[in-house]
Amino acid sequence: MAIILSTEKIVRSFRPENGTTFTIDELNDLVGGWIEPFKVGPVWVMQKEKSAKNSLYNELASMFFEVALYGEVLVVPPQQLPREWDLMEYEDQFITAEMVDNGMLISLQNAIALKKLQQENPSWNINPIEFFNSQFNFTPKEEYNYDPPTDEFQIDEGTAEFLEKVYNYITSAPLQFRNGVLLDESRVIVRTKKENLKTVLQIIKGMYLESEQYEKCAALQQLEDQCY
């Protein structure tokens, strides 16, 4: 979801209309004009273009991000950016949009509490951004690469179980799939090259065609249409 920090120090949240990624028009509407984005840690921060000339100073957002910001300020996880931007970086693939949202809200709450303490104790020198980045110190996951076979092959029980997990993941996280992530669990992440994605879809679709699970085949076809 996107988090809005208003000039009235009100925090609100919005979800993409399609449930996964925002469109550019949605982001423009949320800030009331053309967006001007920049990245801070794991999030993209957006305000209205040239907002400093005709918008109120945003004290809450400026305090947290330590840069002068004006008008409605929008905070968006990289996983929910417009698809045509293709701005997902390597390290972004190790976290989810939900993790970013939770980390943002917790660290914002901490930063407000710190600000009050600093006002009472001027000698303290603590950077609120450190609290934000501290929310993302996770244990590294084991990484595996999957190279799908180019020839026909027999799907055994173990492979079928793996492909079932892949299906559940990629249909719930299409943007991650588009970036080559086939499976992302608590301790393991499985990737493949982007040029292999269609082959992976065809293999899983063939497995479900054989077992006559046509609804899953339709979901895979819809995913393929979205990605290509």
Which pLDDT does position 87 carry in this prediction?
74
81 & 185 share domain: no
Q: How many CB atoms lie within 10 A of CB 113?
A: 12
Which pLDDT does position 163 carry in this prediction?
93
The answer to which of 10-19, 58-67, 94-103 has the lowest mean pLDDT is 94-103
Tens digit of each residue's pLDDT (9 = 90 or more) over 92-121: 777 778 888 888 888 788 777 777 766 776
114 & 153 share domain: no
Q: What is the pTM of this model?
A: 0.52
pLDDT band at 205 (very low <50, low <70, confident <90, very high): very high
Which pLDDT does position 124 carry in this prediction?
56
Cα atoms found within 13 Å of the Cα of residue 15, Cβ hemisphere only:
6
Considering the chain, what is the average pLDDT of its residues? 82
Q: How many CB atoms lie within 10 A of CB 166?
A: 21
With vertex at residue 20, the alpha carbon angle to CA 209 and CA 199, rounded to the nearest 5 degrees, is 35
Which pLDDT does position 20 carry in this prediction?
85
Last residue of a domain, one of 138, 170, 192: 138
What are the residues whose beta carbons fall under 8 Å from the beta carbon of 156, sequence distance 6 or more? Answer: none
pLDDT band at 216 (very low <50, low <70, confident <90, very high): very high
60 & 151 share domain: no
pLDDT at 138 over 50: no
Distance CA 23, CA 25 (A): 5
Which pLDDT does position 127 carry in this prediction?
58
Last residue of a domain, one of 87, 109, 138: 138
pLDDT at 134 over 80: no
Last residue of a domain, one of 107, 138, 169: 138
Domain that holds residue 221: 142-227
DSSP state of 138: P
Identify whether the C-beta of residue 2 lies closer than 8 Å to the C-beta of residue 75.
yes
